[in-house]
Amino acid sequence: MQTIDTVHSTEQLALDLVATEAMGAVRALDPGSLAEAADLIEGARRVFVLGQGRSGIALRGLAMRLMHLGLTAHVVGDTTAPSIGAGDVLVVASGSGTTGSVVRAAVAAAGHGAVVVAMTTAADSPVGRMAACTVIVEAAAKTDHGGTASAQYAGSLFEQTVMLAGDAVFHALWQRSGAAAEELWTRHANLE
């Protein structure tokens, strides 16, 4: 039977692990690739995001923040997402870079003249090779159960890093814009 101290100790160790791994993965991101992603997003007519599972959830957060900034952002698969075309950017996240639906969407987007930004652990993956800008995340792929890249389950570290990288890109774009927080707030949801 576990005591309260043991449970709290276990929880603290878990918090420390997640924080340490996330900090390491964020610090391993190449600021140049994030700047390139920010440039492409800033110059886009519209921004679309796509990822499956938790990677998709992380990118939904980026789409929301880009909307707060005043950019036109869509989540692929939502019923209100329009067709993609020239001048648009598709931001995708796939730890392996081989997720079928993500690869197919990236190929289709490029075929329609859009620019692809990819977040992946594998630069030499199909998504990594075809993207105009690839942000490499130093994390375990979801099928890596060896614990060498991360002690966390499946693709947790990748997904956490995608969320934080998206927030960093947003913050850089916000700073470039010079907009006040109050201006962004006018676009925040008010039907809560």
**Catalytic site positions:** 159
How many residues are there in the chain? 192
Task: Give the integer Cα–Cα distance in Å for 87 and 65.
Answer: 20
Residue-by-residue DSSP string for 4-44: HHHHHHHHHHHHHHHHHHHHHHHHHS-HHHHHHHHHHHHT-
Cα–Cα nearest to 63, from 79, 76, 82: 76
